Amino acid sequence: MSRAFEPPAGRRVFTRDFTPLDTDIDANGHVNNVVYLAWAQTLAIAHWDSTATAEESAAWAWIALRHEVDYRRALLPGETAHGRTWVSDKAEGPRFDRFVRIDGPDGAMCAQVRTVWCLIDRATGRPRRVPAELVARFG
């Protein structure tokens, strides 16, 4: 994941801003790397919550299978980050790729994350194929 990525043209993007807390700053004086991953998860959950129906939320859950993170620019105390997330245009069975980019107030990328999520049937605890209509709704 060495190249910076952007959402494809026309892709729906969910956004949220983050202002680091004092506890997010590490011994090096910038936002700790694990905080970016927490923000990526917060973005993913908020995106799902904004898209899913009450019935879908009751029936399905998502679990993260993999995270790939590139760190590029330190976010400093007092700076507000702008997070964006979007999903792949296709699912692979129960797996769905999600992309997150977190930029500093200057627009420079601080971190980007590619995660692989798996849709779980809450009743059985087993993976469930991502329905095509759900993929389309995220598109």
124 exposed, middle or buried (CB, 10 Å; 0-12, 13-18, 19+)?
exposed
| pLDDT beyond 60 at 114 | yes
pLDDT in tens, 47-68: 999 999 999 999 999 999 999 9
**Order of strands across the sheet that contains 81-87:** 14-18, 81-87, 95-103, 109-121, 60-71
**CB-CB contact of 119 with 130 (8 Å):** yes
Give me the pLDDT at residue 2, please.
60
Strand positions, DSSP E, the chain:
14-18, 60-71, 81-87, 95-103, 109-121
DSSP state of 19: -
pLDDT in tens, 71-104: 999 999 999 999 999 999 999 999 999 999 999 9
